[in-house]
A and B are shown apart, each in its own frame.
Chain A
Amino acid sequence: MGKTIVPALRGIDFAVEQGAFLSVIGPSGSGKTTLLNIIGCIDFATAGTVKVGDQEITSMNDRQITDIRLHKIGFIFQTFNLIPVLDVEENVEFPLLLMRKHSRSETRKRAITLIEAVGLSEYIRHKPAELSGGQRQRVAIARALVTKPDIVLADEPTANLDSVTGEQILTLMKAMNEKEKTTFIFSTHDHNVLKFAQKIVQLKDGLIVQNQ
């Protein structure tokens, strides 16, 4: 029995402008997650090129790509999102501590500001296990923004949340987008959240069928 190769994305070519709030939609298996993973440098295209800003990442080694993820990209994952042994503040500070270029006070100040912005000031010493799903996603948003990245990628950020909390999260992301001018790319197959998107890319069977 040989391997069957199923291409997740086939001949996609598109660019995202700085400060965009873009939604990638499509049914399950359409390639949304793969597209986000490739943009976020955690998966790699078998052919073609990916540029983040003016940097071509296709030819970079692991150390350089990790550095790109740290400095230019923020992630908000669907479920696996926080370090379980660190509290809210420590989780938000984590990428800044990896950067090792900010003082302790600056790191703390930036983290606290974002925690306040996502409305979790009173949970600052709570561990992820002590937070609700919505609160965890807020922490993830704060962590994604703390390094002031060029792009924030969110793979179905509302998938495991109730509709009210999901809407709160998207409102928050939108607010951050407007305030920080950070590019947001989020995937969803929930048509109710599309009202937040400035731009929509629709995928089907690995191809862009709509780009508006």
Chain B
Amino acid sequence: MELIFKIAWRNILRHKGKSLVIGVILFLGAYLMTIGNGVIAGMDKGIGENIINSFMGHMVILADKERSDNVLFKIYGKSVAPIYNFVQIKKVLQDDPDIKYFLPVGKNAALILNEESDMGRAFLLGVDFKAYRQMFPDNFDIIEGRFPKNSERGVLIPAFARKECYDFMNIWLLPEGGKVIDSNLTPEAKENKKDLILKDQEVFMGARDDNATADVRVGIKGIIKYKALNAFWGHFMILDIESYREDLGYFSAYEKTESVPKESQALLNLDNSNLENMFSESAVVVADKKREEIKSLKPAVRVNIAPLNLDAGAYNLVFIKLWNGANLDKKAALLNKKLKEKNLDVRVVTWKKGSGVIGSLAVIIKGILFGFVVFLFLVAVIIIVNTLSMAALERVPEIGMMRAVGAQKSFVRNMFVAETSVLAGIFGGLGIILGAVTVFVLPAFHITTQNDMLQLLYGGDVLNPILNTGDIFLAIGQLALVTAASVIYPVHIAKNITPLDAVVRD
């Protein structure tokens, strides 16, 4: 083996040009792949942290009736099943020492109605603003307007959703009493500034599978911009929970505390299908309103009538933040057990399941990157195979002479494998080491972005690539694969060189 490596090493030095070509290819492949793995791992972690700290928490409770665990971005129009028994759920959550915060929310799609143009679409997140801020104290900036006061009705519009409203409905949304701020206009809106249709209220029509919805007009309190992943969270308009409930046709806390007689309480426990059967179409609020009717809708005014027990009304989800996010699956299983024991007809899922494709985005992008890497490596393998094959043919006299004096085919094979392995070890290894150094150094530069696409790649607003041991082993494995694939054909050529070939060549 010592002899083989001695010959291999000296041949590398002897054929510096070829060695350098192969080495540079291996170096670049290993370097790019290591950085790519680091960025993807950082993205995976960043998206996870962002989902947990800015939007969903570690776990989500949803109704057992809800078929899909993916409740964040459902197919548009598919509603999320309601939870009517949050009061009982709350007791279980309060008693759990692992839970730091929990936030019940309404979450569904809605249509945006307006008098002047076509309907728009939005995702609504119905919340108690005060509780929301406790759970997510720093996840967005208010770029126009203000944060709603406690128990105040209103909606916070993300800048991303405002842009969509402008693109689809030609309406520029403003907070109540606000003015157009040029720097916040999109380039298109800036061009049409004098023709902008300005609005400081929105009319939402909840989109529920059973059409049991209503139209609600709410004032816009502020325009917000999420600090990271605005392209995801920017779809969600944050609405006060009572307006949300009215919009979705759920029992609101106001109705539940004021209007529902005791004997009708049992009705509340019936699921939607039963309610539909009982009331047939009379319960359905018809969505197709004339524009005059939309105009006549007054803003929701039930402000501060009485201290309401908001918990009593309907929700769709409960976001849960834990003190420690480790062993999430285990903790979810434990909580599920408690919820089942209480017969609360809900289940808990982790943020990865709850956020559906977003939680798996890193895996998808990793797959795409892997495809790209395979393509790069295929090109690299072709170049290396060609270079090594040429080298084998140029060395017919040398290899033929070795065979003549008694070298077996396996010796020739091992010599070629050793040469390529030494090159891969040196140049590929250098690529992996430098890639790892780059990944560790990059966060120090604190590279930030406001670009939505780049934020996806960064997994947030800051580029924070990380590299774990598994990724380094993956890079080494891929390098070994390329080396093996590159050497097969040249070895086949070299092994079949006979002493006679050398004599004939001579």
Q: B402–A83 contact, CB under 8 A?
A: yes
A138 contacts partner chain B, Cβ-Cβ < 8 Å: no
Closest residue on chain A to residue B408 by CB atoms: A66
Report which of B6, B13, B409 forms a contact with A62, defined as CB distance below 8 A: B409
Closest residue on chain A to residue B400 by CB atoms: A80
Given contacts A42-B498, A42-B503, A85-B7, contact A67 B406 (CB under 8 A): yes
Q: A85–B14 contact, CB under 8 A?
A: yes
Q: Which of A78-111 contact B (CB under 8 A)?
A: 78-86, 90, 94-95, 97-99
Given contacts A42-B503, A77-B506, A80-B506, contact A98 B406 (CB under 8 A): yes
Q: B407–A98 contact, CB under 8 A?
A: yes
Binds B, one of A19-27, A68-76, A114-122: A68-76
Inside 8 A of A69's CB, which chain B residues have their CB? 404-406, 499
Q: A81–B408 contact, CB under 8 A?
A: no
Interface string of B472-506 (1 = CB under 8 A from A): 00000000000000000000000000111011011
How far does the alpha carbon of A61 sit from the alpha carbon of B461 in the complex, in Å?
Answer: 67
Q: A97–B3 contact, CB under 8 A?
A: yes
How far does the alpha carbon of A77 sit from the alpha carbon of B397 in the complex, in Å?
Answer: 11
Interface string of B305-336 (1 = CB under 8 A from A): 00000000000000000000000000000000
Closest residue on chain A to residue B9 by CB atoms: A85
How far does the alpha carbon of A77 sit from the alpha carbon of B503 in the complex, in Å?
Answer: 9
Q: Give the size range of B's interface with the partner.
A: 20 to 34
User: How many A-B contacts are there with CB distance less than 8 Å?
Assistant: 80
How far does the alpha carbon of A82 sit from the alpha carbon of B28 in the complex, in Å?
Answer: 36
Inside 8 A of B404's CB, which chain A residues have their CB? 40, 42, 69, 75, 77
How far does the alpha carbon of A82 sit from the alpha carbon of B498 in the complex, in Å?
Answer: 16
A37 contacts partner chain B, Cβ-Cβ < 8 Å: yes
Q: A81–B406 contact, CB under 8 A?
A: no
How far does the alpha carbon of A58 sit from the alpha carbon of B401 in the complex, in Å?
Answer: 21
Q: B7–A37 contact, CB under 8 A?
A: no
B10 contacts partner chain A, Cβ-Cβ < 8 Å: yes
Inside 8 A of A97's CB, which chain B residues have their CB? 3
A178 contacts partner chain B, Cβ-Cβ < 8 Å: no
How far does the alpha carbon of A133 sit from the alpha carbon of B363 in the complex, in Å?
Answer: 64
Closest residue on chain B to residue A42 by CB atoms: B499
A137 contacts partner chain B, Cβ-Cβ < 8 Å: no
CB distance from A212 to the nearest CB of B (A): 28
How far does the alpha carbon of A143 sit from the alpha carbon of B404 in the complex, in Å?
Answer: 12
Given contacts A33-B503, A43-B500, A77-B506, contact A83 B406 (CB under 8 A): no
Given contacts A40-B404, A80-B400, A83-B398, contact A98 B411 (CB under 8 A): yes
A63 contacts partner chain B, Cβ-Cβ < 8 Å: yes
Closest residue on chain A to residue B14 by CB atoms: A85
How far does the alpha carbon of A77 sit from the alpha carbon of B504 in the complex, in Å?
Answer: 12
Q: Which of A81, A85, A90, A95 has the most CB of B within 10 A?
A: A85
Q: Which of B405-440 contact A (CB under 8 A)?
A: 405-409, 411
Q: A70–B14 contact, CB under 8 A?
A: no
Q: B502–A80 contact, CB under 8 A?
A: yes
Inside 8 A of B499's CB, which chain A residues have their CB? 37, 40, 42, 69
How many residues of A are in contact with the other chain, CB < 8 A? 33
Interface string of B90-123 (1 = CB under 8 A from A): 0000000000000000000000000000000000
How far does the alpha carbon of A70 sit from the alpha carbon of B407 in the complex, in Å?
Answer: 8
Q: Which of A21-57 contact B (CB under 8 A)?
A: 33, 37, 40, 42-43
How far does the alpha carbon of A98 sit from the alpha carbon of B415 in the complex, in Å?
Answer: 13
Q: A83–B14 contact, CB under 8 A?
A: no
How far does the alpha carbon of A97 sit from the alpha carbon of B6 in the complex, in Å?
Answer: 12
How far does the alpha carbon of A79 sit from the alpha carbon of B405 in the complex, in Å?
Answer: 15
B11 contacts partner chain A, Cβ-Cβ < 8 Å: yes
Closest residue on chain A to residue B11 by CB atoms: A85
B403 contacts partner chain A, Cβ-Cβ < 8 Å: yes
Inside 8 A of A75's CB, which chain B residues have their CB? 401, 404-405
Q: A84–B411 contact, CB under 8 A?
A: no
Closest residue on chain B to residue A97 by CB atoms: B3
Q: A42–B506 contact, CB under 8 A?
A: no
Closest residue on chain A to residue B495 by CB atoms: A62
How far does the alpha carbon of A82 sit from the alpha carbon of B10 in the complex, in Å?
Answer: 14
Interface string of A173-202 (1 = CB under 8 A from B): 000000000000000000000000000000
Closest residue on chain A to residue B402 by CB atoms: A83
Q: Which of A123-175 contact B (CB under 8 A)?
A: 143, 147, 155
Inside 8 A of B13's CB, which chain A residues have their CB? 85
How far does the alpha carbon of A8 sit from the alpha carbon of B13 in the complex, in Å?
Answer: 41
Given contacts A37-B500, A42-B503, contact A143 B14 (CB under 8 A): no
Inside 8 A of A70's CB, which chain B residues have their CB? 405-407
Inside 8 A of A86's CB, which chain B residues have their CB? 6-7, 10
How far does the alpha carbon of A53 sit from the alpha carbon of B367 in the complex, in Å?
Answer: 63
How far does the alpha carbon of A80 sit from the alpha carbon of B500 in the complex, in Å?
Answer: 12
Inside 8 A of B7's CB, which chain A residues have their CB? 83, 85-86
Given contacts A81-B401, A83-B7, A86-B10, contact A37 B406 (CB under 8 A): no
Query: Which residues of B pack against A, CB within 8 Å?
Result: 3, 6-7, 10-11, 13-14, 397-398, 400-409, 411, 498-500, 502-503, 505-506
Query: Could you jot down 5 A-B contacts, CB within 8 Å?
Result: A33-B503, A77-B503, A78-B506, A94-B402, A99-B406
Can you list the 5 inter-chain pairs with the closest CB atoms, starting with the nearest? A70-B406, A85-B10, A42-B499, A80-B397, A80-B506
Query: 16 more A-B contacts (CB under 8 A) besides A69-B406, A84-B398?
Result: A42-B403, A66-B403, A66-B409, A70-B405, A71-B406, A77-B401, A77-B506, A80-B397, A80-B505, A83-B401, A84-B14, A85-B7, A85-B10, A85-B13, A86-B6, A143-B405
